A and B are shown apart, each in its own frame.
Chain A
């Protein structure tokens, strides 16, 4: 942008940490928001208002009524118009700030397209809902030397971490692999508090503003967790993990998720409106625990060989190794969404 009018950001650059120079940096920056659900819509809102000059919003889902409890950019009109989240978000943020450029992409984020989604940006914002895609993002960002800001929320509790490849530990330095499904609740099985997501996403957005305005030294160096219900906060020191452990991603530069070697596999099933999802490493699921988790949101039956879970028009049949047959769709991306919603990855 050539000498743009930055007066609308006056209250922001009045901050001594930012200043006019910092604001100009923010205005000339390019960011990508991956996933535009609760976290993503708050991120897009903050970054648009803060004046991030160019923003790409990526999400494959459509706005649903049960999103409105926490996904601040959307309203009932978007549901009536059956809008994809990315498109609805673009419309809203363009109304908020017409001086920025917004690109909306209604696509699934996966190992095959992640590098093209983050290409040409300065910063990657995580608004995803599952660990597997975060490992894909982590691989792509470490490989391309792009900073990204991890955020996650469940129940009343949230977590965030800022990853600057080469300077801080990466996501896999901290989490070697995703926790098993019985131990990992999802928003769709355990619920989520709207304000808790707002807090975490606002912390992520603050990190983004720091980074984009050139305040690198001020970035969060911890794995920060916060419970909105109890106000309990923890800032786990993780600096010592950097380059001290043999991280497969930033240490060995073995980008297993980006190469598609790790991660779940999916295939449309012959003859049925169904998709099979299987895991790269077999689990040994405890159906009893899983049934207890899923009973709260649908009908569950199980025996030694399989567990069946019905919710709305979908039926998920889960096998002990974590493989699932998802009936009611032949769309692989949609089946993956359902899997991450109810089983978690």
Chain B
């Protein structure tokens, strides 16, 4: 049995680890010597802190092809951004189109609105490989459809969705297109103009390499949201209600400036390395992993067969062993951190036939290596051997 030496972290779809060194350094430096309340006072330090946040907005805007950086609103995380977008867009109710691939951060707010009698909802199915057909979206859009909301890639199978095609379909209607980029922001190209995205929710702590407690929402010019969290914004204190211009309209309260300073450094890292370079490395890792695990007869792989159509995420099961057990064995006998279970996305497991036990998910990141992938494949082989001859 391999004894755990160094931890192999294969849970980047949950949160990336480690972060680029510059992220750690920047946050340390910022909280020690620059962390005044951004934009709240006229003194040099506060002005400088505001500038740090503005630079982060600019960098993120650049990454997503956003022309006006003020349309990037910082949030607590991707869930916060999704809630802001879903509830803000549907204040007056209406019809919503979504998919069965969604994470609970989309499923739950929509289910609650349905339950409250505020919206009606059509959920389109997906293929066996976990991909939504744009024609199904087109068929589901009605005159009263206000919002089409879907993930850019499944957090279970990694399957990438044809968001550009769907964006174009939605753009022909009066509905808004909200994309959950939890699995793609930072590791897969996103262009809000070319993809015709009206609302883009993204986490800071995943592929953007920021710390937890950061995230954001892009709010496109077609969209009008209702206010979310009302409070202090620094400027325009005389206004009795939330100032109407973005980002202040949606950014009440002191922001996580330390986190945003770190996030800014994460985005800078991506822009420097080059997103195609990051994608290429992750593509190689996930292809190798898919090939290695696919060669073990007792392993069932889920999602698209070709890694070209996935993020760096792979879902699988090993015959005769509960996913939670494989997870625990990998953790303690092999030092591999992976996530087992339903991954907060119960519906896709129901349609894949893996509900309620779920499956195991490997999600290597930019800092993982080929050797680590080989170790993980070898670990699954060893586990399989021990369970077939107990």
Identity of the chain A residue whose Cβ is nearest the Cβ of B346 in the assembled complex? A271
Tell me which residues across on chain A come within 8 A of B387, comparing CB atoms. Answer: 303
Of residues A276, A301, A302, A319, which shows the largest number of chain B Cβ atoms within 10 Å of its Cβ?
A319
Scoring A residues 263 to 292 as 1 if CB is less than 8 Å from chain B, else 0, what string do you get? 000000111101010000010000000000
B1 touching A323, Cβ below 8 Å: no
**28 sampled A-B residue pairs with Cβ under 8 A:** A269-B324, A269-B341, A270-B343, A271-B346, A271-B355, A271-B356, A271-B357, A272-B356, A272-B358, A276-B328, A282-B332, A302-B390, A303-B386, A304-B333, A304-B386, A305-B333, A305-B383, A306-B325, A306-B328, A306-B329, A317-B322, A317-B325, A317-B328, A319-B332, A320-B332, A323-B332, A325-B322, A325-B324
Interface residues on B, range: 20 to 34
The 8 nearest A-B residue pairs measured at CB: A270-B341, A271-B342, A271-B341, A271-B358, A305-B329, A303-B390, A303-B386, A321-B332
Tell me which residues across on chain B come within 8 A of A305, comparing CB atoms. Answer: 329, 333, 383, 386
A272 touching B328, Cβ below 8 Å: no
Main SS of chain A's interface residues? loop
Report the minimal beta-carbon distance from A97 to chain B, rounded to whole angstroms: 49
Tell me which residues across on chain A come within 8 A of B358, comparing CB atoms. Answer: 270-272
Given A271-B355, A306-B325: 17 more A-B contacts, CB < 8 Å: A270-B341, A271-B342, A271-B346, A271-B357, A272-B341, A272-B356, A276-B324, A282-B332, A301-B390, A304-B1, A305-B333, A305-B383, A319-B328, A319-B329, A320-B332, A325-B325, A325-B328
Identity of the chain B residue whose Cβ is nearest the Cβ of A308 in the assembled complex? B325
Q: Contact residues of B with A, CB < 8 Å?
A: 1, 322, 324-325, 328-329, 332-333, 340-344, 346, 349, 355-358, 383, 386-387, 390
Scoring A residues 304 to 323 as 1 if CB is less than 8 Å from chain B, else 0, what string do you get? 11100000000001011101
| Residues of chain A from 145 to 195 with CB closer than 8 A to chain B in the complex | none
Report the minimal beta-carbon distance from B50 to chain A, rounded to whole angstroms: 39
Report the minimal beta-carbon distance from A114 to chain B, rounded to whole angstroms: 29
Q: Contact residues of A with B, CB < 8 Å?
A: 269-272, 274, 276, 282, 301-306, 317, 319-321, 323, 325
Question: How many angstroms between the C-alpha atoms of A282 and B3 in the bound complex?
Answer: 14
B357 touching A272, Cβ below 8 Å: yes
- Tally inter-chain residue pairs, CB-CB below 8 A: 56
Question: How many angstroms between the C-alpha atoms of A325 and B329 in the bound complex?
Answer: 11
Report the minimal beta-carbon distance from B382 to chain A, rounded to whole angstroms: 9
Identity of the chain B residue whose Cβ is nearest the Cβ of A318 in the assembled complex? B328
Of residues A269, A304, A305, A323, which shows the largest number of chain B Cβ atoms within 10 Å of its Cβ?
A305
Report the minimal beta-carbon distance from B378 to chain A, rounded to whole angstroms: 14
Of residues A270, A276, A303, A325, which shows the largest number of chain B Cβ atoms within 10 Å of its Cβ?
A270
Question: How many angstroms between the C-alpha atoms of A121 and B64 in the bound complex?
Answer: 62
Tell me which residues across on chain B come within 8 A of A319, comparing CB atoms. Answer: 328-329, 332-333
B344 touching A270, Cβ below 8 Å: yes
Identity of the chain B residue whose Cβ is nearest the Cβ of A269 in the assembled complex? B324
Identity of the chain A residue whose Cβ is nearest the Cβ of B333 in the assembled complex? A305
Identity of the chain B residue whose Cβ is nearest the Cβ of A274 in the assembled complex? B324
Tell me which residues across on chain A come within 8 A of B329, comparing CB atoms. Answer: 305-306, 319
Question: How many angstroms between the C-alpha atoms of A269 and B358 in the bound complex?
Answer: 11
Question: How many angstroms between the C-alpha atoms of A25 and B325 in the bound complex?
Answer: 56
Identity of the chain B residue whose Cβ is nearest the Cβ of A270 in the assembled complex? B341
Question: How many angstroms between the C-alpha atoms of A304 and B382 in the bound complex?
Answer: 11
Report the minimal beta-carbon distance from A307 to chain B, rounded to whole angstroms: 11
Question: How many angstroms between the C-alpha atoms of A270 and B361 in the bound complex?
Answer: 13
Report the minimal beta-carbon distance from B22 to chain A, rounded to whole angstroms: 32
Report the minimal beta-carbon distance from A252 to chain B, rounded to whole angstroms: 30
Question: How many angstroms between the C-alpha atoms of A319 and B322 in the bound complex?
Answer: 13
Question: How many angstroms between the C-alpha atoms of A301 and B324 in the bound complex?
Answer: 17
Tell me which residues across on chain A come within 8 A of B322, comparing CB atoms. Answer: 317, 325
Report the minimal beta-carbon distance from A74 to chain B, rounded to whole angstroms: 36
Tell me which residues across on chain B come within 8 A of A269, comparing CB atoms. Answer: 324, 341
Report the minimal beta-carbon distance from B126 to chain A, rounded to whole angstroms: 19
Option from B324, B332, B344, B346 in Cβ contact (under 8 Å) with A272: B324
Question: How many angstroms between the C-alpha atoms of A240 and B387 in the bound complex?
Answer: 52
Tell me which residues across on chain B come within 8 A of A272, comparing CB atoms. Answer: 324, 341, 356-358
Question: How many angstroms between the C-alpha atoms of A320 and B329 in the bound complex?
Answer: 9
Tell me which residues across on chain A come within 8 A of B356, comparing CB atoms. Answer: 271-272
Question: How many angstroms between the C-alpha atoms of A304 and B322 in the bound complex?
Answer: 16
Report the minimal beta-carbon distance from B337 to chain A, rounded to whole angstroms: 14
Tell me which residues across on chain A come within 8 A of B328, comparing CB atoms. Answer: 276, 306, 317, 319, 323, 325
Tell me which residues across on chain A come within 8 A of B332, comparing CB atoms. Answer: 282, 319-321, 323
Tell me which residues across on chain B come within 8 A of A302, comparing CB atoms. Answer: 390
Question: How many angstroms between the C-alpha atoms of A111 and B349 in the bound complex?
Answer: 37
Tell me which residues across on chain B come within 8 A of A301, comparing CB atoms. Answer: 390
Identity of the chain A residue whose Cβ is nearest the Cβ of B354 in the assembled complex? A271
Tell me which residues across on chain B come within 8 A of A303, comparing CB atoms. Answer: 386-387, 390
Question: How many angstroms between the C-alpha atoms of A73 and B357 in the bound complex?
Answer: 42
Tell me which residues across on chain A come within 8 A of B346, comparing CB atoms. Answer: 271
